Structure 1
Amino acid sequence: MLGIQALMARLVDVALIVAGAVLASHIRFESLVQSRLDGAFITFAVAFSLASFPVFGLYESWRGRSMLRLIGKVSLAWVVMQACGLVLMFSLHRTDSISRLWLVYWTAITGGALIASRLATYSILRSVRYAGMNLRNVAVVGCGAHCQHVVRKVEASPSSGFRASAMFDVRPVSGAVPAGVPRFDDFHKFSEYVRSNSVQEIWLALPLSEETTILRFVKEFRDDLVNIRFIPDVRSVALFDAGMIDLIGAPAINLMASPLPPHALAQKELFDRVFAAVALLVLTPLLTVISIMVKLSSNGPVFFTQYRKGADGRVFKIYKFRTMRVHAEKTGVVTQAMKGDPRITNVGGFLRRTSLDELPQFFNVLRGEMSVVGPRPHALEHDNLYQKVVNGYIHRYRIKPGITGWAQVNGLRGETDRVEKMQQRVEYDLYYLRNWSFGFDMRIVAATLVKGLVHSNAY
């Protein structure tokens, strides 16, 4: 049975979808009398949203979780819903009755309203929790400094909805204990405190080696209405934030694997293909003009191709507009472009400074070889070199390389004449992998459009 909160959330979403359609019609046709609302499309949108939004996790509790990630899920769910509606209308031969401008208005208005409603709810709940209400008491079980670190993280996020009310230190060490949080090292006293003080959550922030301790706490509280969560301390062995996955029906923790779960990869793949198709359609006149300019600038082909590594080390052929005069390189040697490089044509210099030479890579995205956002790929010869000397370099290829990335919008582009430059670039790439979200991708795309197209390091 649905709870009252879940039911209200669904009713609000239904109201926003219908209201968005009516408002879009009023804007498009200026009066409701002249409007042509497609009742079948709206009915399908309502029904499909009720069925699909829970699949995207839009009605789960987001206490203590990233709001940007929720916004990304809402955006993706609504776009997918509209796309499915269009496919249905096309199959029923009803697309002629739908105003394209009305559909755009409806998608934008309702999408914004769905996001705004959650932002408002999130803000209200944050204020309520910051005031000390609607909190869940948490007891943290951990080892030494890591136990204290988790407690401080809870204390530093008062609006997350959790309050550290006790800590059990398996291996006590000297150090400042967070003020106001009782610390226990006696198991029975800790158990009594949890039961007598309405503690609702026990977080086991323990290393994987503490199996006996984990089982002891689970056994002790298995008959209590207390949520027990395992927050493994895997800092010494995990490259990325270790996430729990289902593997052949058994739970597994990723220590060194793709940091993006399958559903996140599916979101990214869908966005990439749609964005690339729209970009190529819109940019066709510009691509044509640039092709003519490149052809007239010097002898040689319009496109420059080179082999690069993609996701999981798969090799593919990358496309760029040719920016250099045709020349021969020694086998196994790739010379990076330098400032004032005589090989670069006048047109090529402009294309490199403005990053317009990268536009053909949207074909790679459409082919599924690249992503819009991700770590920038390097020549195979550079991969072989930096993989041996730059810590974590190979893990950039846990996902598809991108046309733009977190390192690029932070000014880390151009020639890497020192290993330190590549190390810094890799650190930004690994940060992106650890913190990926759909909202983070949108932030990078926006930053690329605003400040990332022209840069002094691009030559």
Structure 2
Amino acid sequence: MVTSRTFKPSGSSDANFYRLFDLLCLFLAFQLSSLIYSFTFNAAYMVAVLFVAVAYMYCAELFSAYRSWRAGKFRSMVLCAWGSLTIAFLCLFVISFMFKFTETYSRIGLGVWFLCSTLFLYTWRLTVFLYKRNRRKLGMNLRNVAIVGATESGAYLFTEIDNNDELGFKFKGFYDDRKPERLSNKLAINSVEGSIQTAVDAAKAGEIDILYIALPLKAEKRIADILKQLGDTTVDVHIIPDFLLSNLIHARIEHVGEVDTLSVFESPFIGAHEFIKRTEDMIVASLILLLISPLLVVIAAAVKITSKGPVIFKQDRYGLDGKKIKVWKFRSMSVTENSAVVTQATKNDARVTPLGGFLRRTSLDELPQFINVLKGDMSIVGPRPHAVAHNEEYRKKVDFYMVRHKAKPGITGWAQINGWRGETDTLNKMTKRVEYDLHYIKHWSLWFDIKIIFLTIFKGFKNANAY
């Protein structure tokens, strides 16, 4: 394995302490629950404790529960811990049920253990959080922060610093050499404290602990000069090039031999994430198909009876990495267009059958796509697949359009539950849909998928723009 000479993974210096303390909380909670409910600790319970501990640690790592407290909100950290704990106990119950040894455990005892663990995990985190926050309020453990470059990315960074007191940052100001009219319009003219050289001198004098460089990449010579001067200081330096602010898709460091590379466009579903996403798809799709199988039979019969043509319409779409897939739908039109030119359905479209109109408005025509999910062509959550003809049209008009294919197309998605579903008769509608799709890919997590699935139940099936 090649060790990066340029980049190092970030992490919390307290992370190992947090991991050990979490494990201690789980074991102490178990001991307390055994005293409260008076059940006997035996080999079976030992296996349960070890299983929950391993499952909890796995989920906690997956949800980044041990990231730096300076860089995350307390509520998010607690929710990550509680979510990991809940999943660990659910896995214990499921496996116990599958292998038929639920009678070995006291259900009330396990319930008490879960509640005690929840309380312990919250209490120790709250104690540490209050301790650190009070120290920062007293002016202790604060770090002086400055931003070189009054740019949009610099303004965005300042907003994050200003809105998150728990970061423990004391903002010293912006520093830039450019004239006021060239600065970001998101900043007031008087927000610039001085020139870039002033910031460098302040860093050398020990007045700045962290310096963020938010200059555009074309200023590489200026950046190189700043870094050379800061090499004579102990200040922490971070670079935020303008283009990185909005265009990176799950950026990470890769190594080609001894050369470090920074990914710009990359799928979030790599390694363990791919396994988690596929497991989620298989479980959810199987359960839904089991529940809706009678409905599928009824709809199929209705389509066959009410109009001529096949029950299932298979249309070419672009899937993961832009490869063509066959997407299944209940036929809702009198035609089955799948050529180089596909006309989107519009209001009062004569091609749509009476039953088809109802199916399209309620999204029932898309139910066969759960079979696509089981086949591996689609996902439960992801950008909606467009007809190949529409892809070829809009990829030339919408920036980063094809980046949405870094994820499998989904039955539902972040764009759909936010109202960008149905006909895209204007360029703005497609641009907004792509914007939401890219937001989903950038911020993907298991919790984000669960949120989208939950919201789909309430507002994702019907839409005024679906004809």
Which of these residues, 242, 251, 256, is aligned with residue 260 of structure 2?
251
CA deviation digits over 1:41-60, x for unaligned, max 9?
A: 22232245457745764323
Checking the alignment, whether the CA contact within 8 Å between 2:33 and 2:116 is kept in structure 1 is no
Query: What residue number does 2:17 align with?
Result: 7
- Deviation larger for 66-75 or 239-248: 66-75
Checking the alignment, whether the CA contact within 8 Å between 2:26 and 2:117 is kept in structure 1 is no
Query: What residue number does 1:44 align with?
Result: 51
How much is the aligned-residue C-alpha RMSD, in angstroms?
Answer: 4.6
Checking the alignment, whether the CA contact within 8 Å between 1:310 and 1:397 is kept in structure 2 is yes
Checking the alignment, whether the CA contact within 8 Å between 2:281 and 2:374 is kept in structure 1 is yes
- Deviation larger for 41-50 or 358-367: 41-50
- Distance, in Å, in 2 between the alignment partners of 1:290 and 1:121 is 56
SS in 2 for 1:63: helix
Which of these residues, 280, 283, 294, is aligned with residue 289 of structure 2?
280
CA deviation digits over 1:353-386, x for unaligned, max 9?
A: 2212222212222222222222211111222222
Question: Do the aligned partners of residues 321 and 73 (structure 1) sit closer, same or farther apart at CA in structure 2, a change above 3 Å counting?
Answer: farther
Checking the alignment, whether the CA contact within 8 Å between 2:56 and 2:87 is kept in structure 1 is no
- Distance, in Å, in 1 between the alignment partners of 2:121 and 2:300 is 41
Which of these residues, 353, 364, 376, is aligned with residue 368 of structure 1?
376
Shift in Å, 1:408: 1.3
Question: Do the aligned partners of residues 439 and 143 (structure 1) sit closer, same or farther apart at CA in structure 2, a change above 3 Å counting?
Answer: same
Q: How many residues align?
A: 445
Query: What residue number does 2:407 align with?
Result: 399
Query: Within the alignment, does 1:228 sit opposite 2:237 as a pair?
Result: yes
Which of these residues, 331, 335, 342, is aligned with residue 322 of structure 1?
331
- 1:9-408 maps to which residues of 2 (within 5 A)? 10-16=20-26, 19=29, 38-47=45-54, 49-50=56-57, 53-54=60-61, 57-65=64-72, 95-98=99-102, 124=130, 128=134, 131=137, 134-142=141-149, 147=154, 150-151=157-158, 153-171=160-178, 173=180, 176-177=188-189, 182-186=193-197, 190-197=199-206, 199-222=208-231, 224-234=233-243, 239-240=247-248, 243-248=251-256, 250-255=259-264, 257-258=265-266, 260=268, 262=270, 265=274, 267-325=276-334, 327=335, 329=337, 331-408=339-416
Checking the alignment, whether the CA contact within 8 Å between 2:203 and 2:233 is kept in structure 1 is no
| Identity, % of aligned positions | 33
Q: TM-score, normalised by structure 2?
A: 0.75
Question: Do the aligned partners of residues 286 and 60 (structure 1) sit closer, same or farther apart at CA in structure 2, a change above 3 Å counting?
Answer: same
In structure 1, give the amino acid aligned to 2:102: I
Question: Do the aligned partners of residues 66 and 282 (structure 1) sit closer, same or farther apart at CA in structure 2, a change above 3 Å counting?
Answer: farther
- Distance, in Å, in 1 between the alignment partners of 2:286 and 2:116 is 24
SS in 2 for 1:388: coil
- Distance, in Å, in 2 between the alignment partners of 1:287 and 1:32 is 50
SS in 2 for 1:413: coil
Checking the alignment, whether the CA contact within 8 Å between 1:301 and 1:322 is kept in structure 2 is yes
CA deviation digits over 1:171-199, x for unaligned, max 9?
A: 454663565x743443xx54453354553
Q: Note the residue ranges of structure 2 that are not aligned, 5 or more in a row.
A: 1-11
Q: Note the residue ranges of structure 1 that are not aligned, 5 or more in a row.
A: none
Q: TM-score, normalised by structure 1?
A: 0.76
Checking the alignment, whether the CA contact within 8 Å between 1:155 and 1:163 is kept in structure 2 is no
Shift in Å, 1:448: 1.0
